[in-house]
Amino acid sequence: MAALRLSSGLLLVLGVLSLTDGSVLLSNQRQKSRAQRDRRNIRPNIILVLTDDQDTELGSLQAMNKTRRIMERGGTLFSNAFVTTPMCCPSRSSMLTGKYVHNHNTYTNNENCSSPSWQAQHEPHTFAVHLNSTGYRTAFFGKYLNEYNGSYVPPGWKEWVGLVKNSRFYNYTLCRNGMKEKHGNEYPKDYLTDLITNDSINYFRMSKKMYPHRPIMMLISHAAPHGPEDSAPQYANAFPNASQHITPSYNYAPNPDKHWIMRYTGPMKPIHMEFTNMLQRKRLQTLLSVDDSMEKIYNMLVDTGELENTYVIYTADHGYHIGQFGLVKGKSMPYEFDIRVPFYIRGPNVEAGNINPHMVLNIDLAPTIMDIAGLDIPPDMDGKSILKLLDIERPVNRFQFNKKGKVWRDSFLVERGKLLHKRDDGTEATQEENFLPKYQRVKDLCQRAEYQTPCEQLGQKWQCVEDAMGKLRLHKCKRMASLTVAGKLGVANMKSQLYRRNSGNCDCDITDFQMSPVKRKKLFSKKKMKTNKNYARNRSSRAVSVELNGELYSVDLEDGYEPVMPRNSSKRLSEGGEEEEEDEGFSGTGSLTSSSSPNELMIPSSIKVTHRCYILANDTVKCDTDLYKSLTAWKDHKLHIDHEIETLQTKIKNLREVRGHLKRARPEECDCNKFRKGQEKDKKQWQQKEQRRKKKLRKLLKRLRNNDTCSMPGLTCFTHDNQHWQTAPFWTMGPFCACTSANNNTYWCMRTINETHNFLFCEFATGFLEYFDLNTDPYQLINAVNTLDRDVLNLLHVQLMELRSCKGHKQCNPRTRNLEIGDKDGGSFDEYRQYQRRKWPKMKKPTSKSLGQIWEGWEG
């Protein structure tokens, strides 16, 4: 009986313990879920500090002791932080939208940078718009986009202090909440770094005082260390012996194994090397003011009690190079010194003093900020939130040993270039064809039906033919192409007659307006013709048309004689009874002098400009004698001429206004046949070519006016002289020229870092390939593409093409497939990567035969 009581007591105790464990487990889960909800309800503040052109490879962070102390000791450093495009405006656009360049279409600092297309399609969907609509007090201070003109306040920002155009420290213009504000060159009140720091601190304090429970999101965008590298006066003597920029790749030139600009660039001259030393010094000096700014912001958070409820992120829009590979200065290269950036974050649940090796990108900023604010991340954003990488929570009990690990990207796309313009045939050039060799492009074109038919189709320009060696070549269809061009020209010349009707019916018949070549030849071969009033105006300068007895004759003139065009005139009697010519509506084009006999053949010898002045055949002006004797007559006639000039100028102005109105109010054309559509395509292509030609001409004229002997076609060059820097330390070694990039520096690269691989693979628009294994060559000195098998090149090419067309975070964050580079043994990790890899976007895979031929003509 006692044993029975003991066993029942034990069961009761075990039951109570089990219930207790279950309640504890349930309580822990509830506390965890409540903590997650509270984190979203607390709504932390967010401060993003952005610098311009700050590197990590050249030691810029070594000068920022205050920033490193605040961010490293109190937060996490991401050691593998990159940008997807190493240029200012494209990178900043990616930060705002969370998208790759090929998805927001801001390719360069000029093309589509803060353009109407950007303002209409992408600016209304930045992270600031989402946060502003959910109660955050959003504020922007500093540089926005390179082509921002200050005419508007971008959507999503309650407080706006944006820099107009590119980076400056003095003599700049700000757009303060829609009003432009000009600044001079006085340090206490105009130095940009200090000004936006003070404005941001004042705004934060004021907001917390007026709205203590509303969260704040501020973006402080510094101009430092971007040019013109003007430092604060107190730091003008700092870093006299700066040499952090002298890396193993410094002045490593020429580079015959790299792309075109690297092969073109030779070793730097002594003046260039001296310039790089001073440039590094001045860049570090500007960062000292940013270092002070970070300390002021930190102290402000401590004073207001908001430090523990504020995420602070510090990063840059891209890196920089100073003398690397012989390039004096600049960015836009796909190498480590241009794509690596500093990236710190501190805030709630962020482990202090930690170094995180995961790969983070500039496109991760927008989704991370939205995740911090507790918002849903739009699926069209290509980046991912990094909060999951900062989670330091441990498993609640020992039964969670199989907790799913973090799956993160190990590859990303680096892209730089311009928009792909359309070809002459109106089709858009595909990106895949940009890097294929010429023979492969010809082979692909010959697969199309329009190139396989003989030159018999109307409008056909090219035909594929096979030469004696068996190679495919494109043969131009001259006869059919010329017929097409002639037809299009005929439509263009008669355009005004085609659209003279206002009725709804379209008249596409152009046969009435074209003259056959036979008729045209007969018409202009006759020396004797019927009377034609306009014929004399269109005669060649080698003959003069004279009317005799109702018929028109041409009289050959001697060499060197300039003919005079006839004008309609009639004779009237002057007050003195003398005969005088009277114009039928003054036009200012001149008139033939009257002959003494109607049947006498006279060669005109002067042009009548006014009723009292003529221009003689020897280009001298002759007026009536009264004008040379009477001051009153002279004044009256001069007033008459001035009046005529003003009248003509007014008429020209009115005509130009009417012409502009007609251009804007042009009606839609009738789409009655393919002929008209082809004409519009050709006209648009011609306009684009004309715009590019005029742009090149303007650049050439500007160089000629400025006596610029530095700039070269196809290259991006700069000049530097003693007047460039207006603040100490000054440059005193005289002017020099250097070229830093080229127009064909368009590329697409895949950067991969994981447990087994660390490489960069690039395809350039010129057809050049580059591959660097950073495990063995961390400074990318040797292009190792020749060491790769063709199968590996094909696989890299396919993966790069998939990244180039990715959209959304599901497609743009893959795990790299097993490349078997170096280590032939796959192992369990390779199987795990294959299993965990995200689904790649569906695309038409090339056959093994075509893949084998793709790389036969690559350069490397």
Token pair listed for 599: 């049947």
* Whether the Cβ atoms of residue 735 and residue 722 lie closer than 8 Å to each other: yes
Give the amino acid at 74.
Answer: G
Active site residues: 88
d(CA 601, CA 592): 13
d(CA 55, CA 333): 13
The torsion region of residue 142 among left (phi > 0), alpha (psi -120 to 50) and beta comes to left
d(CA 337, CA 342): 11
* Whether the Cβ atoms of residue 555 and residue 544 lie closer than 8 Å to each other: yes
Nearest of 42, 29, 32, 809 to residue 374 by alpha carbon: 42
**Across the chain, which distance is largest between two alpha carbons, in Å?**
160
- In SS3 terms, 753-811 reads as ECCCCEEEEEEECCCEEEEEECCCCCCCCCCCHHHCCHHHHHHHHHHHHHHHCCCCCCC
d(CA 585, CA 319): 69
d(CA 113, CA 88): 10
Torsion of CA 279, 280, 284, 286, to 10 degrees: 10
Contacts of residue 20, Cβ cutoff 8 Å, sequence gap at least 6: none
* Whether the Cβ atoms of residue 707 and residue 721 lie closer than 8 Å to each other: no
Give phi and psi for 644, each to the nearest 5. Answer: -65, -40
d(CA 39, CA 390): 14
DSSP 661-723: HHHHTPPPPP--SHHHHHHHHHHHHHHHHHHHHHHHHHHHHHHHHTT--S--TTEEEEEE-TT
Contacts of residue 139, Cβ cutoff 8 Å, sequence gap at least 6: 157, 158, 159, 160, 161, 200, 203, 216, 217, 218, 219
Exposed / middle / buried, residue 200 (Cβ in 10 Å: 0-12, 13-18, 19+): buried
Nearest of 586, 591, 532 to residue 567 by alpha carbon: 591
Contacts of residue 482, Cβ cutoff 8 Å, sequence gap at least 6: none
d(CA 622, CA 610): 11
DSSP 265-300: --PPPHHHHHHHHHHHHHHHHHHHHHHHHHHHHHHH
Token pair listed for 141: 């201070």
Sheet holding 411-416, edge to edge: 411-416, 747-753, 758-764, 769-773
* Whether the Cβ atoms of residue 753 and residue 359 lie closer than 8 Å to each other: yes
- In SS3 terms, 779-793 reads as CCCCCCHHHCCHHHH
d(CA 73, CA 416): 35
d(CA 385, CA 366): 8
Burial of 635-674, coded b for 16+ CB within 10 Å and e otherwise, reads eebeeeeeeeeeeeeeeeeeeeeeeeeeeeeeeeeeeeee
Nearest of 329, 321, 333 to residue 85 by alpha carbon: 333
